[in-house]
A and B are shown apart, each in its own frame.
Chain A
Amino acid sequence: MQGFINTEQQLLESLASGNRKVANQVYQQNYPIVKGWLAKNGGSESDAADLFQEAMVVLFGKAQDTGFRLTCSISTYLMAVCKHLWYKKLQKQSRDPVFLKENIGTDEDEGGIGYEDDVKVHEEREIHYDMLNAALDQVGEPCRSLLKAFYHNDKSMQEITAAFGYTNTDNAKTQKYKCLARLRKIFYSMADN
């Protein structure tokens, strides 16, 4: 199709920047495969969406590193991560010993992709982000909203100045720095405990 990017590396780079068209392309190409696989392995459709999106975020996280090169196709990578995440989830759910409930035998050789480490890094990062968000919730208003507007919603300082009613962007900036200082204190005291 016209306008579609075709080399995997270019796809990754665009995906890393959050390009909607590319994200959609990767989504359309791979989600049905994951959904089909999961249906045979005891997962519902909403499980499939959660699982696939988590795998996309793992890939997104990896792609943030500009030196990152995939050693396999995006599809293979996503599928491997999905399977890994799903087995992990099943393992967590089931008590010891594991029931022979579903047909979840691995049917492909997925060695050498290194997705296991990627998932581990991803999980550690998620814990880090959870802590960061918890700190953000304790920082108080207007700091919480201001930092969220700037970092989460990608608003410019001009927009924030207008939305929060500061007289000029310098005042808004000063406020932002104060908020960051407060957040740093809360976050690192949490991390130390």
Chain B
Amino acid sequence: MSINNNIWEIAEAFVAGTLSETDLKELNSRVASDIEFAAEFSESTNLLKSMKANGKQKRFRNLLSEIHESEIKNPKAKTGRRIELPAHFWRTAAVAAGVALLTSTITYTILNPSIKKNDYQYVTISREVAGLRESQKQLNQNQKKLETDIKKINQPPAAHVRFTGTGFAINNEGYFVTSNHVVEGADSIYIQDRNGEYFKANKLAFDAESDLAVLKIARKSFHFGKGEVPYTFATGKSGLGTNIFTLGYPKNDLFYSSGAISSSNGFDGNELQYTLELPVGHGQSGSPVLDEKGNVIGILTAMGGDAEANTYAVSSQALISLIHDQLSDSPIRINKTNKLHGLSREQQIEKMQAFTFSVKVYKK
């Protein structure tokens, strides 16, 4: 090969590593002496390498989608089709097995006189009956599974995205508050109480600006706990340095943390908010922020980006305004009796537990 050949031919051979030693030497001396050629050659080899690698990656991506389609989404297509039996078949089969069981019992009865003479046969028969029982049990189970499968169809598909936040009661009549961004665009909203029970909730009012939403448990005459909510809601803004604490559900368990108000305005000078020095995690949006006397002073809404470790809470005043402005037709009673004042922190938390819960949201 001569390096006077087509530059692409040389570049291809170079990238493939098939240039002979003499060719390589010749190439090197030309690259060293001819700057224009060197530039063109390097552009060409880079382009070839990129084209090759890009193509290889594309084929790998295709392979992955193909694997996903054939092995993950439709694994049955390869292992042979399974024929789903209609529900009535299982019922018939169960009856048939019952009949078979009956028959063998009769056989056993008829054979009974001879059993004393032949214990071995007795054992065999009872085993068969046991086997039949097993298979009937199996059939019944299959039918039950089929029935639950049918029931499942009526439930929302499991593929829905789940979001979680925290909510807390406004009063003990099923009204509660959480962050608007938690329930925004929700198909269905549930709360999960500390016993793990789910209750469906409906949105009554919301305000995107203050990031608050007021909801009510769908079930009639629902109560979060025994007696009225133990905390009250601050009607004015609390001062800088006020000691505060919060309870919420970042994961499945109730989480407590404490801190202080570090600024009476929130993110970007937002007057509806407070800036807090309070460690929180994802999933705690909508958690109550209380002062030491048991007044709810705010509702957790957001935390700062990476640089600042600030936490932001919407003031309780914004919640009271939301209730007054949007729900004036059917006013929601806001609790006025404080049962947390003067209690130790452990006692306060204990009393609040029934009124603070996880909010689970399903979205399409």
Residues of B contacting A45 in the complex (Cβ-Cβ under 8 angstroms)? 159
In contact, B281 and A103 (Cβ under 8 angstroms): yes
Name the distance in Å between A154's Cβ and chain B's nearest Cβ.
Answer: 6
Complex CA–CA separation, A134 to B320 (angstroms): 56
Contact yes or no, A180 B60, CB < 8 A:
no
Contact between B58 and A105 (Cβ–Cβ < 8 Å)? no
One of B135-143, B192-200, B214-222, B300-308 at the interface: B300-308
Partner of B281, one of A20, A64, A105, A180: A105
In the bound complex, do residue A53 and residue B65 qualify as a contact, i.e. CB atoms below 8 Å apart? yes
Classify chain A's interface size: 35 or more
A18 lies within 8 A of chain B by Cβ: yes
Instruction: Please state if B285 and A100 are interface contacts (CB–CB under 8 Å).
Output: yes
> Cβ of A100 and Cβ of B44 under 8 Å apart?
no
Q: How far is the CA of A147 from the CA of B164 in the complex (A)?
A: 49
**Complex Cα spacing A31 to B162, Å:** 19
Q: Which of B296-349 contact A (CB under 8 A)?
A: 300-305, 310, 312
Closest chain A residue, CB of each to CB of B363 = A42
User: Given known contacts A53-B65, A53-B68, is B300 in contact with A100 (CB within 8 Å)?
Assistant: yes
B152 interfacial contact with A, CB 8 Å = no
Whether B54 pairs with A132 at a CB distance below 8 angstroms is: yes
A-B contact pairs, 24 of them (CB 8 A): A18-B56, A27-B72, A39-B162, A42-B161, A53-B68, A57-B61, A60-B57, A60-B60, A61-B57, A64-B53, A97-B305, A98-B302, A98-B303, A99-B179, A99-B301, A100-B165, A100-B303, A105-B282, A151-B52, A151-B54, A152-B59, A154-B59, A183-B51, A187-B47
Distance of A145 from chain B, by nearest CB (Å): 14
Residue B108 at the A interface, CB < 8 A?
A: no
Inter-chain contacts of A43 with B (CB < 8 A): 161
Chain A residues within an 8 Å CB radius of B58? 152
Name B residues whose Cβ lies closer than 8 Å to a Cβ of A. Answer: 6, 8-9, 43-44, 47-48, 50-61, 63-65, 67-68, 71-72, 159, 161-165, 179, 181-182, 250-251, 267, 280-285, 300-305, 310, 312
Contacts of B301 on A, CB cut-off 8 Å?
Answer: 99-100
List of A residues within 8 angstroms of B48 by Cβ: 180
Q: Is A27 a contact partner of B64 (Cβ separation < 8 A)?
A: yes
Asked if B50 and A129 make an inter-chain contact with CB atoms under 8 angstroms apart, the answer reads: yes
Contact of A97 among B61, B71, B182, B303 (CB under 8 A): B303
Q: How many A-B residue pairs have CB under 8 A?
A: 135
Pick from B55, B159, B282, B305: contact of A101, CB below 8 A.
B282
With A97-B303, A184-B43 already in contact, 6 other A-B pairs whose C-beta atoms are closer than 8 Å = A97-B304, A129-B54, A154-B59, A180-B8, A181-B8, A183-B47
Query: For A39, what are the chain B residues with a Cβ–Cβ distance below 8 Å?
Result: 162
Q: Which residues of B lie under 8 Å from residue A53 when comparing CB positions?
A: 61, 64-65, 68
A104 on interface, CB distance cutoff 8 Å: yes
Query: A96 at the A/B interface (Cβ < 8 Å)?
Result: yes
A76 at the interface (CB under 8 A from B): no
Residues of B within 8 A of A40 (CB): 162
| Given known contacts A27-B71, A42-B161, A132-B54, A103 and B8 CB-to-CB distance under 8 angstroms | no
> What is the CA–CA distance of A45 and B73 in the complex, to the nearest angstrom?
11
Chain B residues within 8 Å of A23, by CB: 60, 63-64, 67
- In the complex formed, the residue of A with least CB distance to B68 is A49
- Answer yes or no: A28 CB below 8 A from chain B CBs: yes
A117 at the interface (CB under 8 A from B): no
Contact call B60/A57, Cβ cutoff below 8 A: yes
Closest to B64 in A: A53
